[in-house]
Amino acid sequence: MKTGPPFYLRWLMQLHRLLYRASAGRIGSRLDGMPVLELYTVGRKTGETRTHLLTYLREGNAFIIAGSNWGQDRPPGWFFNIEAHPQARIQVRGRMIAVRARETEGTERDKLWRKFKVIGSNYAGYEQTAKRVIPVIALEPLETS
């Protein structure tokens, strides 16, 4: 079973998170040619705020993220959090936006997943190694944000 990224990559991801936060998204706003957002979820078990830096696509006014989890057989923890609590927040280049998460399905999901594979070089590999359908999530801004 895969265990996720190697130690050095986890360390680089922590450094990326620190730089992104310290600069309000000005540093580290792109990764692998894709824009980056910070997702704030509520832990489904703990009720505590959890944060994750994720690459995304834009589709209309929605921010689209993929639960690839480095190609592991299990979706990332944030996926279970938004299943339990679909209202979340994202920070995009220093701007905080309230969103509602929705898992895409069928042709909508397939179309968006193809875009991830074209733009992000790692996504096709994640699809090959994961023994599951990788969820594609639309983060739709709430009217009050």
- pTM: predicted TM-score of the whole model, two decimal places: 0.86
Mean pLDDT of 76-102: 95
Q: Would you state the pLDDT for residue 8?
A: 65
Q: Would you state the pLDDT for residue 5?
A: 67
Q: Which of 31, 41, 25, 89 is nearest to 63 (CA)?
A: 89
- Residues 75 and 67: their CA atoms lie apart, in Å, by 6
Neighbours of 136 (CB within 10 A): 23
Q: Which of 54, 49, 10, 9 is nearest to 31 (CA)?
A: 54
Higher pLDDT, 55 or 18: 55
- The 3-state DSSP class for residue 98 equals strand
Backbone angles phi, psi at 93, to 5 degrees: 50, 50
With 60 as the cut, is the pLDDT of residue 144 above it?
A: no
Mean pLDDT of 28-34: 77
Mean pLDDT of 39-60: 94
Two structure tokens written together for 26: 């000005």
pLDDT tens profile 91-140 = 998 899 999 999 999 999 999 999 999 988 789 999 999 989 999 999 99
Two structure tokens written together for 110: 């397939």
Which amino acid appears at position 64 of this protein?
I
Q: Would you state the pLDDT for residue 3?
A: 59
